[in-house]
A and B are shown apart, each in its own frame.
Chain A
């Protein structure tokens, strides 16, 4: 019998002679090279002109390459496996050795070429990065992108299509089934199902791969098991002795080893999918029933971050005023394990159903609940890579209230909530704490960041990175701007600090004074793993793409904007608008508590004012093209959407789709319809009068609630007048 290695060598040699593989490797190199700029070819405006670094170049090329090369390698594999059937050469080949050996040898040879393609492609992209773009090489990102993303995709494609071909013994059927799996991967929000390209859009320059590394590796592990399962199932149904699928199965099943392996990988796949450890279904605010009989008065967090291991350890004390409730429910993060729970100083047992913890409380007016918990924060199931509300990694901590990293009591919030405590993190990280930083202590390589504030909400965030902090003084207001030194050149060249000053001045002049003299406004750059911005109390964040763009963008500041520059101007206007939007929330959201009554919302007000700022900075043409027109388009699109126009037809849709449709509608009304209504009000009253009216409202409702009716009344507007056609 021939030596297995010699057989593989022989197969590799003759595959090469067939030339198709050379074309495939060449095509892969071209695709990978094109992939370097793939971000600029997407519809994702946020990712245009992102600064090229080793991480972006290697990741983008590998991701783009994986998507197309997955199809090419799958086709190459199935054509090779179908070769003997097509050429009627199977009988001759099979007379020399078991045909299973030929299948194994062919698949191994294709995997060899997949490795070769990976290495050659990686070298080509490295050469382009170094020689054409003059960017130094970071081997880690290349190895990660090419051997954790690109190559495994090719490997899965080869195994999956082989399994499908062996199962169906039909080239057409196996290709069609493969394409269905391929499309499912591209369209799924669930990171576990994104086996082709992973759920990640881009590797963060700010936070590195750390926050998403485990999920990518887990996805690869899961799909290795799934693709092996498909392959082994294919082997179990491989046609034998010219028999049908059933008879062949009974012949193949006699191979105990194959059967055991198939069962093992199948169980492994199921277990890996079901026991996925990194994500959870995070409930949105809308889904939570609030107990009206108990009120939150204070939160006192003491949190230690072990960023090296992605873990945290917290002791949180909550104080409540109880008006007749027997329990308090908390919405928790499932990754955090409760070590102790005390009510009024006494250890107590509690009920836990998924991510809701129900704590029994005594019938006393004042109730204190103390939690001690630790662990790793789980991400939102559908947000891995671009919508992560919380993560802890070596170089970046990003924890929004939405991640429930501080367990959220499902109760009424008091008008003022007393919040004080500390965050402790390794001393190489700078923490951005909410409220006022009282003191920083250094303890054994860690820093303890002590803070306090009187908050209007129970929303508590924590953000940390190797920040550079810039103190900005505008009209006697203190603004702290935190960003990574990696993006300092862009911040300087694109005059980001000046724009922040401008925004503060614009809002102060057109709305009113910043709500607090005590709490500085903190603006922090965060990673792109949570796109867009966020505002809570005195902290606003924006994702790194806003200040991490290519040097080409510098041309925007020149006055000779050529045709190509329009897109760059749009990108720049959107970036500044994002900061302006979040900053506007400090007036509408934090300063004035806008009581949401769709479409009336702080989002609508923030969008209106950031639009006004952008209009001032960029003129009517840019601001209209970048904001007004898309808002109008989206509002009209949803208004005319069949299932929205015909509400009774919704019953025919599945619940998931209805939910996503309602979310889209809600978003369009809050973010787009409301600012359009405000612009209509401005049109009716004139800009000056309208803004004066808004100033009056701000002053009158500062640190108080503002309803839509109050707004309409005080602005002398009626709802009908604000109707949008």
Chain B
């Protein structure tokens, strides 16, 4: 499967939610969309699933404009939106049965439902009405319906919200496994999720792509821009003031026996800071910082 986004922009009453996005995605791929709230992640995802039209630009799926061939996309799509509801009066099994029919699964319906239930660990709850389940369990049903048809394109918006750490790991692995032969696009606030499974990361902010590439490249770009410093005693005002001025971003603060250790990301790291190898989270923060600086420039 091949998806191309050409000069995609989306405006809401003169506010640009997406600004000239260009992107090419080929299967297999496991892509993580990251960015702050309002960056345009969900808008972009809605466009990719055909639920929102761009103000300008084209989305091309397998060589055909999406708005001319939504059917082609929807036959291959699994989608979990960020904010969703389910038919609470149905049982888990009934809901998946209903969705299977919408997805056009006929012959192997039972098998597909069993597989989705098993992959989302809902075996014990399959006969339970959805309204009796917890938020995390409902999130799992959302994932189950998305993978029901073993889609060529799986788009999941904040899929691990509400899941406990163990479940999160499980689903990360599930998406990762799936991406061996298809496209999985995952949007998240949790960098750790992206770090563990994505072979490609797209950083969005204010409707623009700040970075698109492998996570290692993002990390590489942040080399020499991440450092630590330990402030002894209570002499913290200077560093906090610099942070406030935007000279750097403090990404962690750890109280030590001698004082406080700060981890910072900066365009130009002061010499008093000890340079360290950046994590993906540091690289993401650096990317955002750089983006802000460029915008200001």
A95 at the A/B interface (Cβ < 8 Å)?
A: yes
Tell me which of B18-26, B86-94, B183-191, B283-291 binds A.
B86-94
The answer to whether B53 and A96 have CB atoms under 8 Å apart is no
Tell me which of B102-110, B163-171, B198-206, B268-276 binds A.
B102-110
Please give, as numbers and ranges, the residues of chain A lying within 8 Å of B139 by CB-CB distance: none
Chain A 85-116, CB-CB to B under 8 Å as 1, else 0, gives 00111011111111000100000000000000
The answer to whether B52 and A95 have CB atoms under 8 Å apart is no
Tell me which of B75-83, B223-231, B248-256 binds A.
B75-83
A7 at the A/B interface (Cβ < 8 Å)?
A: yes
- Min C-beta distance of B13 to chain A, whole Å: 11
B127 at the A/B interface (Cβ < 8 Å)?
A: no
- Min C-beta distance of B3 to chain A, whole Å: 15
The answer to whether B98 and A10 have CB atoms under 8 Å apart is yes
User: By DSSP majority rule, is chain B's interface helix, strand, loop, or mixed?
Assistant: loop
The answer to whether B74 and A97 have CB atoms under 8 Å apart is yes
The answer to whether B103 and A2 have CB atoms under 8 Å apart is yes
Given contacts A17-B94, A87-B88, A243-B53, contact A92 B80 (CB under 8 A): yes
The answer to whether A95 and B79 have CB atoms under 8 Å apart is yes
Residue of B whose beta carbon sits closest to that of A93: B102
A241 at the A/B interface (Cβ < 8 Å)?
A: yes
How many angstroms from the CA of A98 to the CA of B94 in the assembled complex? 22
Within 8 A of B (CB), among A670-718: none
B292 at the A/B interface (Cβ < 8 Å)?
A: no
The answer to whether A17 and B101 have CB atoms under 8 Å apart is no
B85 at the A/B interface (Cβ < 8 Å)?
A: yes
Chain A 73-94, CB-CB to B under 8 Å as 1, else 0, gives 0000000000100011101111
How many angstroms from the CA of A265 to the CA of B145 in the assembled complex? 40
The answer to whether A3 and B104 have CB atoms under 8 Å apart is yes
- Min C-beta distance of A288 to chain B, whole Å: 64
How many angstroms from the CA of A92 to the CA of B103 in the assembled complex? 11
A649 at the A/B interface (Cβ < 8 Å)?
A: no
Please give, as numbers and ranges, the residues of chain A lying within 8 Å of B192 by CB-CB distance: none
- Min C-beta distance of B151 to chain A, whole Å: 10
The answer to whether B85 and A87 have CB atoms under 8 Å apart is yes
- Min C-beta distance of B136 to chain A, whole Å: 17
Residue of B whose beta carbon sits closest to that of A6: B101
Please give, as numbers and ranges, the residues of chain A lying within 8 Å of B102 by CB-CB distance: 2, 7, 10, 93, 96-97, 102
Contact pick for B86, options A87, A95, A97, A243, CB 8 Å: A87
Chain A 1-38, CB-CB to B under 8 Å as 1, else 0, gives 11100110010001001100000000000000000000
- Min C-beta distance of A499 to chain B, whole Å: 63
Please give, as numbers and ranges, the residues of chain A lying within 8 Å of B220 by CB-CB distance: none
The answer to whether B74 and A96 have CB atoms under 8 Å apart is yes
Please give, as numbers and ranges, the residues of chain B lying within 8 Å of A2 by CB-CB distance: 101-104, 106
Contact pick for A89, options B51, B71, B79, B86, CB 8 Å: B86
A242 at the A/B interface (Cβ < 8 Å)?
A: yes
The answer to whether A10 and B101 have CB atoms under 8 Å apart is yes
Please give, as numbers and ranges, the residues of chain B lying within 8 Å of A94 by CB-CB distance: 51
How many angstroms from the CA of A242 to the CA of B77 in the assembled complex? 20
Please give, as numbers and ranges, the residues of chain B lying within 8 Å of A6 by CB-CB distance: 101, 106
Chain A 596-635, CB-CB to B under 8 Å as 1, else 0, gives 0000000000000000000000000000000000000000
Please give, as numbers and ranges, the residues of chain B lying within 8 Å of A91 by CB-CB distance: 46, 49, 51, 79, 81, 83-84
Residue of A whose beta carbon sits closest to that of B104: A2
Given contacts A3-B104, A91-B84, contact A98 B71 (CB under 8 A): yes
Residue of A whose beta carbon sits closest to that of B105: A2
B60 at the A/B interface (Cβ < 8 Å)?
A: no
The answer to whether B103 and A96 have CB atoms under 8 Å apart is yes
B142 at the A/B interface (Cβ < 8 Å)?
A: yes
B99 at the A/B interface (Cβ < 8 Å)?
A: yes
Chain B 210-235, CB-CB to A under 8 Å as 1, else 0, gives 00000000000000000000000000
Residue of B whose beta carbon sits closest to that of A96: B102
Please give, as numbers and ranges, the residues of chain A lying within 8 Å of B53 by CB-CB distance: 240-241, 243, 251
- Min C-beta distance of A254 to chain B, whole Å: 10
- Min C-beta distance of A249 to chain B, whole Å: 14
How many angstroms from the CA of A133 to the CA of B99 in the assembled complex? 48
How many angstroms from the CA of A83 to the CA of B84 in the assembled complex? 13
Please give, as numbers and ranges, the residues of chain B lying within 8 Å of A243 by CB-CB distance: 53
How many angstroms from the CA of A94 to the CA of B51 in the assembled complex? 8
Chain B 49-85, CB-CB to A under 8 Å as 1, else 0, gives 1111100000000000000001100110111110111
- Min C-beta distance of A201 to chain B, whole Å: 42
The answer to whether B88 and A241 have CB atoms under 8 Å apart is no
The answer to whether A14 and B94 have CB atoms under 8 Å apart is yes
Given contacts A2-B103, A91-B84, A96-B103, contact A18 B89 (CB under 8 A): yes
Please give, as numbers and ranges, the residues of chain A lying within 8 Å of B50 by CB-CB distance: 95
- Min C-beta distance of A604 to chain B, whole Å: 66
- Min C-beta distance of A53 to chain B, whole Å: 44
How many angstroms from the CA of A102 to the CA of B77 in the assembled complex? 17
How many angstroms from the CA of A3 to the CA of B100 in the assembled complex? 12
Residue of B whose beta carbon sits closest to that of A20: B89
Residue of A whose beta carbon sits closest to that of B47: A241
Please give, as numbers and ranges, the residues of chain A lying within 8 Å of B77 by CB-CB distance: 95-96
Given contacts A1-B71, A14-B94, A92-B80, contact A242 B52 (CB under 8 A): yes
- Min C-beta distance of A722 to chain B, whole Å: 73
- Min C-beta distance of A100 to chain B, whole Å: 11
The answer to whether B98 and A92 have CB atoms under 8 Å apart is no
The answer to whether B83 and A88 have CB atoms under 8 Å apart is yes
Q: In this complex, which of A6, A91, A95, A240 has the most chain B Cβ atoms within 10 angstroms of its Cβ?
A: A95
- Min C-beta distance of B14 to chain A, whole Å: 15
Please give, as numbers and ranges, the residues of chain B lying within 8 Å of A98 by CB-CB distance: 70-71, 74
The answer to whether B51 and A241 have CB atoms under 8 Å apart is yes
Q: In this complex, which of B50, B80, B104 has the most chain A Cβ atoms within 10 angstroms of its Cβ?
A: B104
The answer to whether B70 and A89 have CB atoms under 8 Å apart is no
How many angstroms from the CA of A97 to the CA of B99 in the assembled complex? 11
Please give, as numbers and ranges, the residues of chain B lying within 8 Å of A240 by CB-CB distance: 53
- Min C-beta distance of A214 to chain B, whole Å: 44
Please give, as numbers and ranges, the residues of chain B lying within 8 Å of A93 by CB-CB distance: 102
The answer to whether B71 and A17 have CB atoms under 8 Å apart is no
Within 8 A of B (CB), among A214-272: 240-243, 251
Q: Closest 4 CB pairs between A and B?
A: A88-B85, A2-B104, A95-B79, A10-B101
**Which B residues contact A (CB, under 8 angstroms)?**
46, 49-53, 70-71, 74-75, 77-81, 83-90, 94, 98-99, 101-104, 106, 142, 145
Q: Can you offer 9 A-B residue contacts whose CB atoms are under 8 A? A: A1-B74, A1-B104, A92-B81, A93-B102, A95-B74, A96-B77, A96-B99, A97-B74, A251-B53
